[in-house]
């Protein structure tokens, strides 16, 4: 196994490492059959990327491939052999976008070990395994690359009924913020992208959840722009949400009891995590 220690001979100025070009680069996107994955793939293809798209639903991937010229890789992130196939393919890509995620959190009484494993496998284990393999492969080869981890504001503030989603997205953010520091001075960069509520397509739109009055949303194209910013500028974190939601999430991080009280006052009792 390759150690993640920055190797002096591979040290390059961050300005070079961070300035990844989208045009002509090969970008692997997980969860490409979903609402946000579809939007980000179309934006990246528009900007001249060669795409490798992966998910379980072949038909949706093939429809997207017909429009973008993408290579299709049908795979289930909960299957260890499939996950290795994705990691193997990502080794020769310039950018990894770990976007796939699951949001369904069953009622507490229906939570099973299987559903706990499923959430952890898709939302946390798979992106960590892929990011680690991508980074170590690229560092060993001395090939610049960038990792984009799609998290959520649900990785900063918890809501009632979204326990596994919160658990995995908090975990992913923790991994990302540590990993970004660890990769400093190597040929690989890493960005955590945290969307808030996204309307029109994707898991929040599909769940038809009503938000408290005044809570604003963004659209899938905003998330796609966040991914472009992540790849081209290489910041540690990109937020895709109205500023007030980001402030509320920050309060949720530092004062969770206060955030819970505010949510109760606003009548947030159903799942609103996304």
Ligand X SMILES: NC(=O)c1ccc[n+]([C@@H]2O[C@H](COP(=O)([O-])OP(=O)(O)OC[C@H]3O[C@@H](n4cnc5c(N)ncnc54)[C@H](OP(=O)(O)O)[C@@H]3O)[C@@H](O)[C@H]2O)c1
Angle between helices 35-46 and 220-233 (to 10 degrees): 50
Six token digits for residue 132: 């680690």
Q: Which stretch binds ligand X (CB under 6 A): 55-63, 137-145, 208-216, 249-257?
A: 55-63
Query: What's the min distance (Å) between Cβ of 132 and ligand X?
Result: 18
H or E element, residue 74: strand 71-74
Residue tagged 């690359």 (tokens) = 145
The reply on whether position 204 binds ligand X by CB under 6 A is yes
SS3 145: strand
Is residue 16 among the annotated active site residues? no
- Asked if residue 91 lies in contact with residue 26, where contact means CB atoms within 8 angstroms, the answer is no
d(CA 195, CA 241): 6
Examine residue 78 and tell whether it contacts ligand X (CB under 6 A): yes
Choosing from 49, 55, 135, 238, the residue that interacts with ligand X (CB under 6 A) is 55
Select the residue interacting with ligand X from 171, 202, 226, 234 (CB under 6 A): 202
Binding residue (CB under 6 A) for ligand X from 27, 198, 238, 248? 198
Residue number with CB closer to ligand X (97 or 187): 97
Q: Indicate which single residue of 34, 144, 171, 252 sits in contact with ligand X (rule: CB under 6 A).
A: 34
56 HSE (CA, 13 A, CB side): 8
Least CB distance from residue 51 to ligand X, whole Å? Answer: 14
Give the C-alpha separation, 213 to 57, whole Å. Answer: 35
Euclidean distance between CA atoms 272 and 197, whole angstroms: 8
State the catalytic residue, choosing from 165, 170, 175, 179: 165
CA atoms within 13 A on the CB side of 248: 20
Q: Does 150 bind ligand X (CB under 6 A)?
A: yes
The correct pick among 44, 101, 130, 259 for binding ligand X (CB under 6 A) is 101
Residues annotated as catalytic are 165
Chain residues that interact with ligand X, rule: CB under 6 A: 31-37, 55-57, 76-78, 99-103, 122, 150, 152, 195, 197-198, 202-204, 274
């Amino acid at each position: 196994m390759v150690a993640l220690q920055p190797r002096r001979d591979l040290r390059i100025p961050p300005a070079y490492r961070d300035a990844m070009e989208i045009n002509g680069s090969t970008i692997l996107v997980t969860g490409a059959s979903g609402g946000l994955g579809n939007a980000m793939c179309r934006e990246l293809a528009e900007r001249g990327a060669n795409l490798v798209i992966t998910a379980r639903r072949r038909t949706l991937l093939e429809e997207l491939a017909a429009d973008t010229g993408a290579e299709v890789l049908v795979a289930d992130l909960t299957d260890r052999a499939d996950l290795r196939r994705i990691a193997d393919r990502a080794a020769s890509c310039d950018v990894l976008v770990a976007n796939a995620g699951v949001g369904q959190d069953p009622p507490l009484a229906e939570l099973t070990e299987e559903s706990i494993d499923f959430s952890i496998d898709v939302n946390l284990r798979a992106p960590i395994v892929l990011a680690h393999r991508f980074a170590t492969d690229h560092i060993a080869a001395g090939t610049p690359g960038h990792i984009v981890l799609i998290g959520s504001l649900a990785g900063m503030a918890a809501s009632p009924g979204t326990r596994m989603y919160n658990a995995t997205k908090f975990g992913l953010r923790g991994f990302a913020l540590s990993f970004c520091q660890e990769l400093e001075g190597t040929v690989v960069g890493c960005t955590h992208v945290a969307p808030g509520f996204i309307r029109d397509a994707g898991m929040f739109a599909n769940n038809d959840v009503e938000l408290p009055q005044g809570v604003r949303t963004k659209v899938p194209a905003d998330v796609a722009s966040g991914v472009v910013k992540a790849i081209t500028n290489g910041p540690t974190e990109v937020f895709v949400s109205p500023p007030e939601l980001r402030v509320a999430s920050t309060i949720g991080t530092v004062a969770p009891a206060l955030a819970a009280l505010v949510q109760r006052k606003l009548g947030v009792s159903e799942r609103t995590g996304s």
